[in-house]
Structure 1
Amino acid sequence: MNDSLTRALDLTRALEDAVSQQDWPRASAIVEERSPLLMSLGPQQTPDALEKIRAIQQIDAGITVQARAGMDRLSERHGDALRRIKSVSLYHTTGML
């Protein structure tokens, strides 16, 4: 069990790196590998295991903040692109009058 938790912590650090680089495909693959390891944890854990779990939780909190910021930037870019498309369409429509 401790090997699984150590692997989960290593994957969490790799996930943090992927998110910081905005490498979403890699981040997704890491999450898929890590999830079963975390889901297999039982309720009773050693103090060492609890320390690793807390480290994972702390890193995950930072990842969540970074992912939300990335989503906000992506949404903003998408909105900007839609406004540009609308402007071009209006320009073309006006030119046809």
Structure 2
Amino acid sequence: MSHESLQRAHELTRTLVVAMEAGDWQFAADLADERSPLLMSLGPDQTDEGLAMIREIQSMNDTIESKAREACDAISTSYSEAQRRVAAAGQYLATP
């Protein structure tokens, strides 16, 4: 991977974290799609500066994973609550 590509992946990762913090999930998904091939093209030979950027990306990935897990949990909770309300409404309507 060229240094410019690694810098771009680093930049996209920083922007991805900001997008997730802002709750802009579509933009975050678009950034992840753009970033993925750059990360997949990483080679084993990296400069010290490149390795430092990769470590920063890994650290930001931990934040991304945590934010995604929190959002997934919130959606799951909201969905379960909606299902409970629908079931309660169904019981109410079925009561003579």
TM-score in terms of structure 2 length: 0.96
Residues 13-40 of structure 1 show CA distances to partners (whole Å, capped at 9, x for unaligned) of 1100111112111111001100111111
Q: Which runs of 5+ in 2 are unaligned?
A: none
RMSD between aligned residues:
0.7
Of the structure 1 ranges 5-14 and 20-29, higher mean CA displacement relative to structure 2 is found in 20-29
Instruction: State yes or no: 1:93 paired with 2:94.
Output: yes
- Whole-angstrom CA distance in 2 between matches of 1:73 and 1:38: 29
Q: Which runs of 5+ in 1 are unaligned?
A: none
1:37 — aligned with what?
Answer: 38
Q: Secondary structure at the match of 1:71?
A: helix
Residues 54-85 of structure 1 show CA distances to partners (whole Å, capped at 9, x for unaligned) of 00000010111111011101100000000000
Q: Secondary structure at the match of 1:83?
A: helix
Name segments (4+ residues, structure 1) moved above 2 Å: none
Give me the identity figure in percent.
Answer: 42
Matched pairs, number: 95
Shift of 1:53: 0.2
Instruction: State yes or no: 1:63 paired with 2:64.
Output: yes
**Which runs of structure 2 are paired with 1:14-29 in the superposition (5 Å)?**
14-29=15-30
